[in-house]
């Protein structure tokens, strides 16, 4: 059964552009993780003000393995709070662009996509 893990990011209005830039320049390693199924960065436009980082995984174990991997750490190099500005991989600035993060977890009960014919 697939699971959905959503990281909910609180982003100050002046940091919105920065966080979107960071995701535009993200490491792109998650695509190669075992059991990875989907990723979306969702910008709040109605009813909420937090960004959602939507991910779907084949299983809980696959998600846990990714969070403990080098790929996860590398994919969060810019987000790491203790990284001094100007080091790392050359895009964006150091330090966190989000002022808060909360993890939501779900099991996929039903799902559908467009009919193909």
Tokens representing 79 are 């987000």
Report the residue from 2, 3, 30, 56 that binds ligand HEM according to the rule CB under 6 A. 30
C-alpha to C-alpha distance for 42 and 94, rounded to whole angstroms: 22
Binding mask 50-79 for ligand HEM (x = CB under 6 A): ---x-x-------------------xxxxx
Residue 100 φ/ψ region, left for φ over 0, alpha for ψ in the -120 to 50 degree band, beta for the rest: beta
Q: Following CA atoms 86, 87, 93, 98 in sequence, which dihedral angle do they give, to the nearest 10 degrees?
A: -140
Establish if 83 lies at the interface with ligand HEM (CB under 6 A).
no
Q: Select the residue interacting with ligand HEM from 2, 3, 22, 56 (CB under 6 A).
A: 22
Binding site for ligand HEM (CB under 6 A): 5, 7, 9, 19, 22-23, 26-30, 39, 53, 55, 75-79, 96-98, 101, 103
């Amino acid at each position: 059964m697939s699971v959905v893990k959503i990281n909910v990011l609180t982003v100050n209005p002046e940091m919105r552009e920065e966080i979107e830039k960071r995701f535009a320049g993200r490491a792109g390693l998650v695509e190669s993780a075992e059991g990875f199924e989907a990723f979306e960065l969702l910008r709040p436009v109605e009813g909420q003000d937090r960004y959602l980082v939507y991910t779907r995984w084949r299983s809980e174990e696959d998600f846990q393995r990714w969070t403990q991997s080098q790929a996860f750490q590398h994919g969060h190099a810019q987000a790491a709070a203790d990284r001094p500005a100007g080091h790392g991989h050359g895009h964006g600035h150091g330090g966190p662009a989000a002022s808060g993060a909360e993890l939501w977890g779900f099991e996929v009960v039903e799902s559908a996509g467009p009919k193909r014919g």
